[in-house]
Amino acid sequence: MDNVLPLSGPDRYGPCMNGSFPRAGRRFSVGLAVLGFLAVGCNADGDADAGGSDPSATIPVAAASADDPETEITAVFEAYWHAVVQAQSGQVADAAALFSDIAVDETIDENVGVATRYEQQGLVRVGAPVISAVKVDVDGRSATVTACVDESEWLAEVGGQTLPPRDDQLKPYPVQFEMIKSGGSWLVGESVEPGEAVTC
Amino acid sequence: MLRTAKLRGASAALAAAVIMALTPAVVSVASENATDAPTDATDTPPAAPPTKSPGTPPDIPGLSSAPECWEWVEVSPGRHEYVYVCETPGEDDSGEDDGEGEWDGPTCDLSHEPYSEFCMGERACWADIPSTIPEENWPERGRESDSEIFTYYECFLPPDGEPDGRFGWIDPYDESLPDEGWAAWGKLQTPAFTLSFEPNELTYVGADTRFEVDGIGDGEIVGGQAGPLQAFGTFSHVEIDPGDSSGTFTCDNKPDTDDCEHVYLETSHDQPAQDLDGRGAYTAQARLVYDVTYTLRGEPISLPGVPDTLESPWNGTLVPVGEIQVLVQ
């Protein structure tokens, strides 16, 4: 798997503390790394890559097992972030399609809204966030996912100029998403306040 | 697929095409346990959505790329978005008529739901009012008046314009909840109070001078009704300026704490103010600070952008500060 670099968040930022969860359920911890490469950056082999390859050519998704909700949820969460990166890259015409079977309608609307606004404003995101310290908490047909998101290498460009990241953008921050079981599959629900107990 | 009214028609706006020279973003999952192998990411790639056609220039409506025009805002829990905070070229956000004549009605057609709340020039709009974004997450720049709120709003030009939604600063229209909130806040009245100090009548350099405020009562104040809103104040603390240029400090005005005490380092004999005995005195002042909350028809409501504190006027007293002479024989 040439393009996958299993970079763990704690390697870069130290372990994320995980606070109490609203539900008592099984927990499953994974490290999730989302890596994107600028054209002037490196490909997975470390070579300079100036090509404008199609961002939708590969969207690797982990195999899901119906018997293992944590694995399935993690795969959906992984696919979700990949879709977010693609939607904001300025290269995809139908942002909603990216999130099909991944997120609930409200979450799709939010992401399509962001992509639309960025397009109207001439802003594109380059690079990708680093997602680490992913923890899944399953309780029957509901679940939550907490993670740390580092956007310091997921920059914005307007009119060909890169906006310098703001100070608070250089630090990873916690996120928490509701996961919804729908028709036998897990979908990413709305983001919720992770609470002060979850730090990155 | 259901779509909320907020983003209705938004996908249709994806007309411009831009091709960026990016290599694919790659996602991988690995267990925190080093013995677990990374998940094979090539098993089930989902169907690829259509990409944009090359050669079409991006639709950049003259927005500045100056970094100070863009803020990275947490618009909902854990979700950040770049927001343009400079004035958009050619955008008329006044929502007011030209001032000629007596007509003071809407400047746009508000008959197209949900764009029926207010006008921005000829555009009809709705907005998240009150804002769903906590005030502490609002951008530092771009606010032109205290009454403006940072929120999501969406407008369109009747009858068949393309909806345009964004986060930005807007001045809530008359009789909106923030507007009524300001009115409710304005109806709160702080109680009359007096400021005293001990040792009474005369204190000394180096001594602990204790200030005390009388008149706070039970610490609760209730404002009048403003539309469906009502404001309530709960005493928070006292701010005290001892008058010797040492600066203001806060205290809780409780008898069992010493945070209302101050030590004067110089006498007040050369101060221009004089007490009833003709002694030079520092002009000490205090004001009460209240935390303010709001209710909508009796139920608590958050109104970002509307003041959540209230300060009373300053009220003072003269504090003569003497010096204790010690005779050594």
Residues B127 and B232 in one domain: no
Q: Does A57 contact B46 at a Cβ distance shorter than 8 Å?
A: no
Burial of B266 (0-12, 13-18, 19+ CB in 10 A): middle
Mean pLDDT of B238-262: 92
- pLDDT (0 to 100) of residue B208: 95
pLDDT digits (tens, 9 = 90+) for B45-71: 445 556 655 433 344 456 788 888 999
- Percentage of chain B lying above the pLDDT 90 cut: 61
Among residues B296, B324, B323, B290, which one has the least CA distance to residue B308? B290
- pLDDT (0 to 100) of residue B249: 97
Residue B275 has pLDDT above 60, yes or no: yes
User: Using 50, 70 and 90 to split pLDDT, how confident is the model at B44?
Assistant: very low
Which chain A residues touch B50 with a CB distance below 8 Å? Answer: 92-94, 97
Is B100 domain-assigned?
A: yes
Residues B198 and B300 in one domain: yes
Which candidate in B22, B76, B84, B155 is best for mutational testing of the A interface (most A CBs within 10 A)?
Answer: B22
Which candidate in A1, A104, A120 is best for mutational testing of the B interface (most B CBs within 10 A)?
Answer: A120
Is B41 domain-assigned?
A: no
Which chain A residues touch B2 with a CB distance below 8 Å? Answer: 105
For residue B21, what is the nearest residue in chain A, using CA coordinates? A52
CA dihedral (A59, A65, A66, A72) positive or negative: negative
User: Using 50, 70 and 90 to split pLDDT, how confident is the model at B101?
Assistant: low
- pLDDT (0 to 100) of residue B200: 86
- pLDDT (0 to 100) of residue A40: 25
Which chain A residues touch B39 with a CB distance below 8 Å? Answer: 62-63, 71, 74-75, 78
Residue A31 has pLDDT above 70, yes or no: no
Is B274 domain-assigned?
A: yes
For residue B70, what is the nearest residue in chain A, using CA coordinates? A163
The whole-angstrom distance between B31's CA and the closest CA on chain A is 4
- Say how many domains are in chain B: 2
- pLDDT (0 to 100) of residue B90: 57
Q: Lowest-confidence range among A52-61, A91-100, A130-139? A: A52-61
Last residue of a domain, one of B173, B194, B227: B173
Last residue of a domain, one of B146, B173, B200: B173
- pLDDT (0 to 100) of residue A113: 94
- Percentage of chain A lying above the pLDDT 70 cut: 66
The neighbour count for residue B104, using CB atoms within 10 Å, is: 9
Residues B125 and B197 in one domain: no
Is B178 domain-assigned?
A: no
Q: Which residue has better confidence, B132 or A61?
A: B132
A56's CB contacts (< 8 A; 6+ apart) are A86, A91, A92, B24, B48, B49, B51
Last residue of a domain, one of B133, B149, B173: B173
In order of start, what are the domains of chain A with their CATH numbers? 9-192 (3.10.450)
- pLDDT (0 to 100) of residue A60: 40
A7's CB contacts (< 8 A; 6+ apart) are A33, A35, A130
pLDDT digits (tens, 9 = 90+) for B148-195: 999 999 999 998 888 889 999 999 999 999 999 999 999 999 999 999
Candidate from A63, A115, A158 with C-beta closest to B43: A63
Residues B151 and B129 in one domain: yes
Is B29 domain-assigned?
A: no
Candidate from B48, B52, B78 with C-beta closest to A175: B78
Residues B162 and B69 in one domain: yes
Residues B196 and B148 in one domain: no
Q: Does A121 contact B27 at a Cβ distance shorter than 8 Å?
A: no
User: Using 50, 70 and 90 to split pLDDT, how confident is the model at B42?
Assistant: very low
Beta bridge partners of A134: A30
- pLDDT (0 to 100) of residue A195: 82
Residues B207 and B301 in one domain: yes
- pLDDT (0 to 100) of residue A37: 29
- pLDDT (0 to 100) of residue B57: 39
Among residues A174, A124, A199, which one has the least CA distance to residue B82? A124
pLDDT digits (tens, 9 = 90+) for A69-113: 899 999 999 999 999 999 999 999 999 999 999 999 999 999 999
Mean pLDDT of B237-263: 93
Residues B83 and B162 in one domain: yes
pLDDT digits (tens, 9 = 90+) for B276-326: 999 999 999 999 999 999 999 999 999 999 999 999 999 999 999 999 876
The whole-angstrom distance between A140's CA and the closest CA on chain B is 22
Q: Does B25 contact A55 at a Cβ distance shorter than 8 Å?
A: yes
Q: Does B22 contact A39 at a Cβ distance shorter than 8 Å?
A: yes
Integer CA distances (angstroms), B129 to A180, B115, B149, in order:
28, 13, 9
Q: Does B22 contact A121 at a Cβ distance shorter than 8 Å?
A: no
Q: Does B26 contact A39 at a Cβ distance shorter than 8 Å?
A: no
Which chain A residues touch B53 with a CB distance below 8 Å? Answer: 93
Residue B136 domain boundaries: 63-173
Q: Which residue has better confidence, A46 or B260?
A: B260
For residue A130, what is the nearest residue in chain B, using CA coordinates? B27
Candidate from A53, A71, A96 with C-beta closest to B11: A96
Residues B290 and B189 in one domain: yes
For residue A83, what is the nearest residue in chain B, using CA coordinates? B25
For residue A108 the two structure tokens come to: 């799709």
Residues B212 and B297 in one domain: yes
Residue B232 has pLDDT above 90, yes or no: yes
- Element (DSSP H or E) covering residue B120: strand B118-120
pLDDT digits (tens, 9 = 90+) for B10-21: 222 222 222 222
